[in-house]
Chain A
Amino acid sequence: MNKKNTLKTSTALRWIALLLAAALFAGCSLTGETIRDRIDKFITAINNQDPQGIKDCLDPSAASYNTASTLAFWDTFFNDRPYAIASFSQSGNTATVHFSGSNGSDLPMVFSMTENQGTLLSGTTYSIRRITYNSQTIFE
């Protein structure tokens, strides 16, 4: 009986290991994020008035990476806090997002994201490379 249980457990563990390996091999990750996740973190940092949290969401290769890292800059565009994501659509690494402000105001923005390939365990992450509004660049 004990031997039979041990065999069952061993087989189950093998199947789990096989599935995990297949998932990792196929590019899936246990800890990676989606573009939506990153934009969620970005708007949360803006709502929380967290300059380091905002900077962590930006692509360091953007020319304004350092100069835009000040609340005064983001508060100029996000002046109806707190914001929530009202709609989200994605095409490749570009996302079109409508934020709704506390007064119900609508703020449409397009995010171009940089895909950062991590390790098999850390997975893919994204950072914000460009933000536009009506085709005019706010940040890049």
Chain B
Amino acid sequence: MKRSILIWITILFIIPVGLLLAQNTTVTYIEGDPRIKNNRGTIESLDYGAQLATGESVITGKKDLVELDQGNSATIRIKPNTVFTIREIEQGGQKEQVLSTITGSVSMRFNRLAGKEPKIGTVSTIAGIRGTEVTIFAGPDGSSLFIVESGLVSVSAAGQTVELGAQEAVEVPAGGPPGEKFSVIGRELDFSKWSQGKAEELLADPLSSLDRSAALLAQFKAGLEEWVSNYEKARVESEAAAEQMKSMTDKEAQNKYRDEVWFPLALQTGNAILNYRYYTLSALSLRRFVLGPLYMQVRTRNILHQDGSYQEFMNRYQEIIKDFQTTFEPYTNSTDY
């Protein structure tokens, strides 16, 4: 019990997210049935227009989505299977808000014209933000992943700093320095090092680790579905343009059509493929390097003693793998394995 409380407190401090001047935080958009854990400790339905106070948490289920606004200075998008909390700390004699993603994923957009620019940070990770859209994944092993869509972010952890520009990302292992930054355009997320040396942390609560992986897979699934849909639309137009181009007999007209009509459509289609493959391969990496080793460890450690929680783990694991097979596998091929 003490161990699980310690882990929970550690996660709360390790998975960082933001540091802002105290602001009113209003619920501006709701999908599904998200909950709020208020300062009295009770959990209630979250209503549109509600004000989120310091110390309160928003909890989303697998079909929920919540958007919060802090005046015109920040928009916070809380994705499915996430717990998001506003905390308050004192820095330089001034009380400031800390936006914390405890588990799951949150995207934030900050308006650079709206006063003081925010900081993101906790004990292990501090990030300064300048006019930024940033997404933070709370990894299944307690690591965090920063993905910058626009603006600049300076991520510091364990005494080292990495500067991120638009379309760049960095992984920060729990308690460790930021890794090498990488471009998020085209390159899938690599989970091969996420679990290294973290086996005990993952195994301390295998079901929670499984749920956190499932939450990440749900994010990838949403991205995949969005881009497959975009791809299907673009493909129809691109193929029609290709047929039209082939039927043209005047070479000059054909080349003009190729450059002005067909190629922009083909490029749009190709980019949609790269994007849906990004989500597919990120999910495949998560399965291979986080879920697979977790399953093997739990199975090996419980070979002689298989209680109810073991069965619960196995059932949940099979459910996640089945969902992976139907969702992601159709978009993989032999070169991915």
What residues of chain A have their CB less than 8 Å away from a CB belonging to chain B? 51-52, 55, 62-73, 76-77, 79-80, 101, 103, 105-107, 133-134, 136, 138, 140
Contact = CB atoms under 8 A, between A and B. Distances in A.
Nearest to B284: A66
B86 to A, nearest CB: 36
Secondary structure call for the A interface: loop
Interface residues of B, number: 31
Given A63-B187, A106-B258, A140-B186, 9 more contacts: A52-B334, A62-B186, A66-B187, A66-B281, A66-B336, A71-B333, A73-B270, A76-B269, A79-B239
Nearest to B182: A63
Contact of A67 (B188, B235, B334): B188
B246 A80 contact: yes
A69 B183 CA distance: 18
Interface stretch (B92-100, B271-279, B311-319): B271-279
Interface of B: 183, 185-188, 235, 238-239, 242, 245-246, 251, 254-255, 258-259, 263, 266-267, 269-270, 273-274, 277-278, 281, 331, 333-336
Contact of A79 (B242, B255, B259, B278): B242
A137 B33 CA distance: 43
A80 to B, nearest CB: 6
The interface centre, meaning the residue of A55, A66, A71, A77 with most chain B CB atoms within 10 A of its CB, is A66
Contact of A69 (B185, B267, B335): B335
Nearest to A80: B246
| A-B pairs with lowest CB-CB distance, top 6 | A64-B186, A63-B186, A67-B277, A63-B187, A73-B273, A69-B335
A21 B273 CA distance: 48
B188 A105 contact: no
Contacts of A106: 251, 254-255, 258
Contacts, number: 79
Contact of B270 (A65, A69, A80, A138): A138
B168 to A, nearest CB: 11
Contacts of A107: 258
A66 B270 contact: no
Contacts of A64: 186-187, 274
B245 A70 contact: no
A45 to B, nearest CB: 11
Contact of B258 (A51, A67, A105): A105
A76 B335 contact: no
A51 B267 CA distance: 19
23 contacts: A51-B334, A51-B335, A55-B335, A62-B186, A63-B186, A64-B186, A64-B274, A66-B188, A67-B273, A67-B281, A69-B336, A71-B333, A73-B273, A76-B238, A76-B266, A76-B273, A79-B242, A79-B266, A106-B255, A107-B258, A133-B263, A136-B263, A140-B186
A103 B245 CA distance: 10
Contacts of A62: 186
The interface centre, meaning the residue of B185, B274, B281 with most chain A CB atoms within 10 A of its CB, is B274
Contacts of A69: 333, 335-336
Contacts of B274: 64, 67-68, 73
Given A51-B333, A63-B185, A105 B246 contact: yes
Contacts of B254: 105-106
Contact of A76 (B235, B245, B259, B278): B235
Contacts of B336: 66, 69
Given A67-B188, A67-B281, A133-B263, A72 B273 contact: yes
A70 B235 CA distance: 15
A67 B187 contact: yes
B277 to A, nearest CB: 4
A63 B188 CA distance: 8
Contacts of A103: 246
Nearest to A137: B267
Contacts of B188: 66-67
